[in-house]
Amino acid sequence: MPCRVHSRLKKHTIQTTLIPTHRLPPGHMFKTLDTYIARSIASTATAAIMFIGFVFGAVNLLKDVLVYLLDGRIPLSLFLRLCWDMAQYVGTYAVPIGMLLAVLLVLGRMSADNEITAMRTSGLGLARIARPVFALALLGVAAELGINFYLMPRSRIAYHVELEKALRDTAANFFVPRTFMREIPGAVVYFDKKDGKRHDNLWVWLLDRQQRATHIYHAASAEIDFDLEAGVLRVLPLNGTIEARRAADPDAPAPNNNILQIDGTETALEIPLGDFLGRRGFREKPEWLTLPQLLARRAALAADPESTDVDRLKITLTIHNKLTFSLGVFSFVLLAVPLGIRTQRKESSANIGMAMLLVVVYYVMSVAVGWLDKRPDLHPELLIWLPNAVFIVAGLWLLRRVERAGR
């Protein structure tokens, strides 16, 4: 009998120790849980966006700007401004990809650590667990709208305008005395000394595609002027000669020793500068217009009787394309939530590979629809919403399957 009493007392003692001395209010618990998930997603998304933006931006800057910085044609201050302009431009792609990658990484880790299982065991549904994730996705949509319709167009125009102006302003500084200037396509320039526009003992070799001299200009004195509007280097010889070379054998002079005396502006030599001044006269694309500019352009085309359906379609398709790219943030997140939970992977490489696959599928579909910009009869402005529709439907279907599997 004493043994039974002792056993009951011991059992009662064990049970009472399992009862918490105080309980957290449900609202406080949910707030803590939401904050934990939101902070994890936000910090990872920020790092992912910065990394993706750096990669995209670095590729473009290496291609367009870095060579001009290294040879001194643009100052470091301008290079930093161009980097900021490029950062706003690549944000169009970095924000949705960064959000997708963050959700896959964070939820994959939480699922692998059984944190998702613990939340669902406590009675929380999948939609309730992902509520802070969807809230961040909506903030991402709003940020993407601002980038696509305002920041990106302005930064893209500023990028090209500032770069072109800097290259034009510093072009004359690269003509150094007693140095063979080979940067101008199809020509080599040499002179002994200069005083303003005047250059003494000037030599100019015009080259063919095989870099062989076709004409040789020499002037004891000449004036060099940059025609920035025409994009040419204009040489005004005050006293000089021109020698033509044989087309079949540029190493030999032309028949009859064809050397002509040149003097005065009527015999000015114009040398196209090509890419030496940068990409002159860049064409403003519809996607580089802000929302008010796009709406004004669409209204102007609608009122213009000479405009075609294709002209109006390009503006309308641009507006819809920017809207779909913005909604793509939410579409990516909606699909990434069930995928991240189902994969249950801590490995970053697997989640990054999955993210890249989804991005490729989405953008391939978007680009394929963009090729229909000359087919108004197929209504590409409506088909451009197809990638988002596919991702949203797939995300909802997977959410439902994962919700049922966890019951």
184-208 residue pLDDT tens: 778 888 888 888 778 888 888 888 8
> pLDDT tens, 58-114?
888 888 888 778 877 788 888 899 999 999 999 999 999 999 999 988 988 888 888
| pLDDT the model gives residue 278 | 55
- Residue 22 has a pLDDT of 44
Contact predicate 181/188, CB 8 Å: yes
Identify the helix (H) or strand (E) that includes residue 9.
Answer: helix 2-17
**From CA 269, how far away is CA 312, in angstroms rounded?**
44
Name 193's bridge partners.
200
The domain spans of the chain are: 26-174+280-407, 186-272
Rounded CA-CA distance 216/229 in Å is: 26
For residues 385 and 320, the answer to whether their CB atoms sit within 8 Å is: yes
| CB burial string 324-361: b at 16+ within 10 A, e below | bbbbbbbbbbbbbbbbbbebbbeeeeebeebbeebbee
DSSP code of residue 254? P
> Quick one: pLDDT at residue 24?
44
Please identify every stretch of the chain with a pLDDT value under 70, giving residue numbers as ranges.
Answer: 1-30, 171-174, 228-229, 245-267, 274-283, 343-351, 406-407
| Residues 40, 52: Cα–Cα separation, whole Å | 18
- pLDDT, residue 40, reads 92
Contacts of 224 (CB under 8 A, 6+ apart): 175, 194, 197, 199, 202, 233, 234, 235, 236
Which tokens go with 204? 């100019």
Going along 129-168, which residue ranges are E strands? Answer: none
CA distance 74 to 66: 9
H and E: helices and strands count for the chain: 13, 7
Q: What predicted TM-score, i.e. pTM, was given to this entire model?
A: 0.71
The whole-number pLDDT of residue 223 equals 81
Q: Could you tell me which residues come within 8 angstroms of residue 260 by beta carbon, excluding any fewer than 6 positions away?
A: 241, 242, 243
Rounded Cα distance between 324 and 228, Å, is: 40
Q: Cα separations (Å) of 85 from 52, 89, 153?
A: 15, 6, 10
Show the beta-strand stretches assigned E in 228-359. Answer: 232-244, 259-262, 269-272
Token code pair at residue 38:
């939101």
Instruction: Write phi, then psi, for 198 (nearest 5 degrees).
Output: -85, 130
pLDDT at 237: 75
